[in-house]
Amino acid sequence: MPEWLRDSPAKRGTWVECVQQARQVLADRLGEIRRDAGLTGRDIARLCGWHASKSSRIENARTPPSADDIRAWCAACGAEAQAEDLVASLRAVEGTWIEWRRMERAGLRQAQEARLPLYERTRRFRSYSSWLVPGMIQTHAYTTAALRAIQRRRGLVDDVADAVEARMERQRVLYEAGRQFAFLVEESVLRSGIGGPEVMIGQLAHLITVGSLPNVSMGVVPMRPDRARWPVEGFWLYDSAQVNVELVSGYLTITQPSEVTMYAETFAELADLAVYGADSRALITAAMDSLG
């Protein structure tokens, strides 16, 4: 993601616009295939067995087509040979940006389980958070409070208990040999949490425990008025292959090497501002005392 896109929620919205443009390119291609076949939108609808308005919504990029929609469209136009390339384009767009409502439409558990293969193949994890404790080092109670809040806010099916267990299961990679973890959290994360004082005290104590693991670096970026690098959106770096960013409206995946490098450089800058060891434990303990 370019540097200018990080500055504000309004500018982050520009990324969504770029994704919409990519969807429009795909829609335009489907329109070209229809016209080359000498068919109308109503013809497509009749041949595919759906309402005519769906053809219009797809071709105007108002409704993203599914892979099956694309295959049916190409079959109706006698262009089956082009279907898989178009499906690949669809997957690329979906993989880059997924709205929460689409990602979580089958429930929170599935969304948690979907990330497990990525965790299992990663050896070096780097996580920066400016608003919540990273999921990999959350307690059961903290995760329950966080996912419950999401479930209620978004009006999702209530599979919170199963989703919590899925996240707890995913945490096993933290204790597997051959993996390294570097966590950075803003000091504000320690003092503004979720679930109430008891949940937060347990979570903060867990951070101290996790920070003592030999394969874990636990850094806290102190609050101060003269920082050289301001807080940014929370993100995860998986080896040097991929970055995931959680934004208000959706889940962003970045694989472009130059953009992954930018996030790695940002992580390094924030890591230079953080404190570790006894100093980080002092900040965590002070946050616990303020809750007690």
Which one of 81, 97, 113 terminates a domain?
97
53 and 159 belong to one structural domain: no
Compute the average pLDDT of residues 217-230: 94
Evaluate if residue 214 carries a pLDDT over 70.
yes
62 and 131 belong to one structural domain: no
31 and 126 belong to one structural domain: no
- What 3-state class would DSSP assign to 37? coil
Sign for the pseudo-dihedral over CA of 133, 105, 110, 144: positive
The string of pLDDT tens digits covering residues 240-287 is 988 999 888 788 888 778 888 999 999 999 999 999 999 999 999 999
Which one of 49, 69, 97 terminates a domain?
97
Evaluate if residue 30 carries a pLDDT over 60.
yes
Pure H helices in 52-114? 52-59, 67-76, 83-96, 100-103, 108-113
d(CA 156, CA 134): 22
176 and 159 belong to one structural domain: yes
Evaluate if residue 125 carries a pLDDT over 80.
yes
Q: Which amino acid is at 124?
A: R
d(CA 26, CA 29): 5
The string of pLDDT tens digits covering residues 63-86 is 889 889 999 999 999 999 999 888
> What pLDDT is attached to residue 17?
65
Burial per residue of 195-215, b for 16 or more beta-carbon CB atoms within 10 angstroms, e otherwise:
beeebbbebbebbeebbeeee
Number of folded domains in the chain?
2
Burial per residue of 2-41, b for 16 or more beta-carbon CB atoms within 10 angstroms, e otherwise:
eeeebeeeeebeebeeebeebbeebbebbbebbeebebeb
User: Lowest-pLDDT range, 43-52, 80-89, 188-197?
Assistant: 80-89
110 and 30 belong to one structural domain: no
- Domain of residue 83, residue span: 3-97
Which one of 69, 97, 125 terminates a domain?
97
CATH of residue 110's domain is 3.30.870.10
Q: Which residues pair with 244 in a beta bridge?
A: 236, 253
> Nearest Cα to 129, choosing from 274, 283, 291, 3?
274
Cα→Cα distances 188→133, 192, 230, 250, 283, Å? 10, 6, 13, 23, 10
> What pLDDT is attached to residue 190?
97
74 and 153 belong to one structural domain: no
Q: Residue 60: count other Cβ atoms within 10 Å of its Cβ.
A: 13
31 and 154 belong to one structural domain: no
89 and 114 belong to one structural domain: no
CATH of residue 56's domain is 1.10.260.40
37 and 174 belong to one structural domain: no
CA 227 to chain centre: 27
Q: Which residues pair with 98 in a beta bridge?
A: 251
Evaluate if residue 15 carries a pLDDT over 60.
no
207 and 188 belong to one structural domain: yes
Parallel, antiparallel or unpaired: strands 124-129 and 235-238: antiparallel
217 and 81 belong to one structural domain: no
148 and 78 belong to one structural domain: no
Tokens of 227: 């920082």
